[in-house]
Structure 1
Amino acid sequence: MERAIFAGGCFWCMVQPFEEQDGIESVLSGYTGGHVPNPTYEQVCSKTTGHTEAVEIIFDPEKISYADLVEIYWAQTDPTDAFGQFEDRGDNYRPVIFYETEAQRQIAEQSKDNLQASGRFDRPIVTSIEPSAPFYPAEDYHQAFYRTNPQRYAISSAKRHQFLEENWQ
């Protein structure tokens, strides 16, 4: 098994697209990239810990490649918005691909370059590609939120889904 970590705004919205793929062992919502060990949701929301909401994906590279995961990631985000995603604003919602290995970094960089060259967006692709940092699982009530709170998930993800339909279909 290998690990991938992606931040793309609210972690509630980042779980389902990955969880539905063959070869995914688990998708965990959490926090990474900050300077406070074991932060709480309230601390991360205070924008004082340096963390961003992210998902940790454990996957079988024999069934799904890291490159495939990066392509799925792009199609869940607005890669031209460095200051959050959709209605979620601030550093704790910034888009980041956190790489585990040099091979992952190279795949992410090449994919980002390809997306920029594609002309799909008329603004620069600003998603950061950074080395992984400690990942702290979010509280239980955040896990698999789309399944446990489908109505609230639908409301919170409406802008994201509209953007995705307009830009990634």
Structure 2
Amino acid sequence: MKETAIFAGGCFWCMVKPFDTQPGIFSVTSGYTGGHVVNPTYEQVCSGKTGHTEAVEIVYDPEIISYEELVEIYWQQTDPTDAFGQFQDRGDSYRPVIFYQTQEQKFVAEKSRAALQTSGRYDQPIVTKIEQQKPFYPAEEYHQDFYQKDPKRYQAETTPRQKFLQAHWGKEK
């Protein structure tokens, strides 16, 4: 059995490894969603004129890892208080969004967001959007599995994120 989850949390390069390394994950694909241009390119998305955001599409086995668990991993990869990008990546194409496919996914995401808001972990409002899934377009091949292709650059890209996550979650994510 396979199901799909789509999460946007800033640079898609930084969002692959935390999911890709979990049991029950078949694939994690970097791509674009939420916009109005069919099959956009990286350059088009970066222009800010397509309405897309960088995201990851996760294909998983719900008997091994639940959607709830994926949402919890998601929160531990992002700054849910920043609606205008993530870490050094700024603008709409880097906004944090959970894209749901079913009403059950929407319910799980909303319940989890509410729990995070009342947890006291953050002193600012949780602003991550929960939106209905739109078409997902895989990014160019050179963006796929970036953490494996260029580990040094991946490490440099994730350093600000790691410092923030460690401050809020107590350990390196």
Aligned length: 169
State how far apart, in whole Å, the 1-side matches of 2:138 and 2:119 are.
35
Counterpart of 1:159 in structure 2 is 160
Counterpart of 2:80 in structure 1 is 79
By how many angstroms is 1:4 displaced?
0.1
Flag structure 1 segments of 5+ consecutive residues without an equivalent.
none
Deviations 1:130-168 (A, max 9, x none): 000000000000000001011111111110011111111
Q: 1:68-147 to 2 correspondence within 5 Å?
A: 68-147=69-148
Q: Secondary structure at the match of 1:157?
A: helix
Counterpart of 1:148 in structure 2 is 149
Deviations 1:53-83 (A, max 9, x none): 0000000000000000000000000000000
Flag structure 2 segments of 5+ consecutive residues without an equivalent.
none
- TM-score normalised by the chain length of structure 2: 0.97
By how many angstroms is 1:35 displaced?
0.3
Deviations 1:22-48 (A, max 9, x none): 000000000000000000000000010
Q: Secondary structure at the match of 1:97?
A: strand
- Identity among equivalent pairs (%): 68
Which of structure 1's runs of 4+ aligned residues deviate more than 6 A?
none
What's the RMSD between the two structures over aligned residues? Answer: 0.4
- TM-score normalised by the chain length of structure 1: 0.99
Counterpart of 1:37 in structure 2 is 38
State how far apart, in whole Å, the 1-side matches of 2:54 and 2:94 are.
6
